[in-house]
Structure 1
């Protein structure tokens, strides 16, 4: 798997499925100020009445994600839980939850709206949570000297969500998770953390287990709405410039590199020095390549006395050191401090 974890090539139908609906439902998991600032955060729904009335009730829990591969917008991990006896009857038979990728944006949005509407059967019996990992934080972790890769970030998000639900007293007896990498390795790690819970980690779990399908919908609708929030500043700028003859800012589509609308938007809005805002994953090859090409003729005076950095690209100063690691106390402007340069 590539270091950037970018999407594989998608056909036109897949790109359209990944594109947010124009009227996507904004669930309580959308914290607008945090999203615009580029912050990572978690949201937990209240414990549903049917479980809260009897906390000894055995529950099944599922986890899935949305937005692993895009260059724009957050990655969202979602957790969904409900009483074991309602797992198939309520989710699969009554509401027809499925992998979010095979549901239309409108269907996903409507299911999420029902889940968040008081007095519906979904709201009374189901709890859910999300962890939104911002594009800014994903890239910062991946480009840091001590690389915190996407798999590790995803696994930690999953574990933190489950721990919080268990800490609230929910009696989870079964857990189903869509895998990250090899399912057997992932499953063994989780079983060491929760040895008394029956855990299943599987490929395509979002199409095999209704509770994972429901988590998939929560993750996808939250990401879609968050993507809309990320685009708001650009809509505002465009509205303010109407009638001035300035170039129109196109919609960015699904946010995936395979989407021509996304790459067109990246090229059109890129600042030659700063690139883009908090909505962009600078660690993705798509963004790095555009910056390197655009910055070919950009002159920058770096505060260094020698000529060692004359042929370096701007993005080299933001790249991680890989396995070599680094120490902020002895690193300075991208160069290793030598003994001759130490100050006593």
Structure 2
């Protein structure tokens, strides 16, 4: 996912409007490329910046033990871009943002984060405010270029790069996801595992994996993990542990497989 910011002097709002920028979703690829070129050439009064979140970064954030949802990631990206503009010496007086989640709460959050700056958060802001339209064009063009020129980190052979737009309503994207689903490992890092489209395919066509601790009560399992770990069995000095104590501490993993500790091999 790519987030963008565009900024210009308040006195140049009309000049930005004269470029006829619009919501990037309503423009063709050629129109977006043309407008991006115009924005890039107007460096005398327009500035822009991007924040890119890779699929792997999003998946790791959303699926980790302490989860971070997509709204929070989006808010953090927007805050980071505004802070980047300020740190770069841009004297911001007003900020317009396309909402993610409830607009009023988001606006309040940004206003507290940046006191003294007039913040306006609206649904579909990229179709209401030219400066947001310009930011959406920059983000969309960058996103399309990143997808088209993606370099797979995995050592994959003969991977079809005709994966379409990467959106769930694209037939090419659907076909690619079906073709390159590994039943055990899922997808390469190019695909966001937390994406509902990918998750549904993994759940329906992937191999079911059962973890031994899945059946344990969460609090009980956490307490066991805190008290001891499997590594402790291999770090204890041979012959120094009381036999009864060792039996009491044996993890279910070992008892179910009839495994016992040995002093010598």
Where in structure 1 are there 5+ consecutive unaligned residues? 1-74, 239-247, 310-320, 334-338
**TM-score, structure 2 length as denominator?**
0.76
CA–CA distance in structure 1, aligned partners of residues 28 and 55 of structure 2: 25
Q: CA deviation at 1:341?
A: 5.6
Q: How does 1:46-125 map to 2 (within 5 A)?
A: 75-87=1-13, 89-93=14-18, 95-116=19-40, 120=41, 122-125=42-45
CA–CA distance in structure 2, aligned partners of residues 83 and 332 of structure 1: 59
Whichever structure has more strand as a proportion of its residues is 1
Q: CA deviation at 1:110?
A: 1.5
Deviations 1:29-55 (A, max 9, x none): xxxxxxxxxxxxxxxxxxxxxxxxxxx
Would the aligned equivalents of 1:249 and 1:268 in 2 still touch at CA under 8 Å? no
Sort the Cα spacing of 1:250 and 1:224 in 2 relative to 1 into closer, same or farther, 3 A.
closer
Paired position in structure 2 for 1:178:
98
Q: CA deviation at 1:226?
A: 0.7
Q: CA deviation at 1:308?
A: 5.0
Q: CA deviation at 1:171?
A: 0.8
Q: How does 1:311-330 map to 2 (within 5 A)?
A: 330=226
Sort the Cα spacing of 1:85 and 1:293 in 2 relative to 1 into closer, same or farther, 3 A.
same
Q: CA deviation at 1:79?
A: 0.3
CA–CA distance in structure 1, aligned partners of residues 152 and 206 of structure 2: 27
CA–CA distance in structure 2, aligned partners of residues 167 and 175 of structure 1: 15
Deviations 1:319-338 (A, max 9, x none): xx9xxxx89x75989xxxxx
Where in structure 2 are there 5+ consecutive unaligned residues? 231-247, 252-265
Sort the Cα spacing of 1:249 and 1:187 in 2 relative to 1 into closer, same or farther, 3 A.
same
Deviations 1:13-41 (A, max 9, x none): xxxxxxxxxxxxxxxxxxxxxxxxxxxxx
The reply to whether residue 219 of structure 1 matches residue 139 of structure 2 is yes
Would the aligned equivalents of 2:92 and 2:117 in 1 still touch at CA under 8 Å? yes
SS of 2:44's partner is: helix
**TM-score, structure 1 length as denominator?**
0.60
Structure 1 or 2, whichever has the larger Rg, is: 2
4+ residue segments displaced more than 3 Å: 231-234, 306-309, 329-333, 339-342
The reply to whether residue 257 of structure 1 matches residue 168 of structure 2 is yes
Q: CA deviation at 1:293?
A: 2.8
CA–CA distance in structure 2, aligned partners of residues 80 and 250 of structure 1: 31
Would the aligned equivalents of 1:76 and 1:219 in 2 still touch at CA under 8 Å? yes
Q: How many aligned positions are there?
A: 227
Would the aligned equivalents of 1:114 and 1:123 in 2 still touch at CA under 8 Å? no
Would the aligned equivalents of 2:24 and 2:133 in 1 still touch at CA under 8 Å? yes
Would the aligned equivalents of 1:272 and 1:291 in 2 still touch at CA under 8 Å? yes
Sort the Cα spacing of 1:273 and 1:222 in 2 relative to 1 into closer, same or farther, 3 A.
same
Q: CA deviation at 1:142?
A: 0.6
Would the aligned equivalents of 1:250 and 1:261 in 2 still touch at CA under 8 Å? no
Sort the Cα spacing of 1:162 and 1:148 in 2 relative to 1 into closer, same or farther, 3 A.
same
Among candidates 51, 70, 92, match of residue 150 of structure 1: 70
Would the aligned equivalents of 2:167 and 2:173 in 1 still touch at CA under 8 Å? yes
Q: How does 1:190-339 map to 2 (within 5 A)?
A: 190-230=110-150, 237-238=157-158, 249=160, 251-296=162-207, 304=212, 330=226
Would the aligned equivalents of 2:6 and 2:47 in 1 still touch at CA under 8 Å? yes
Sort the Cα spacing of 1:193 and 1:292 in 2 relative to 1 into closer, same or farther, 3 A.
closer
CA–CA distance in structure 2, aligned partners of residues 136 and 332 of structure 1: 29
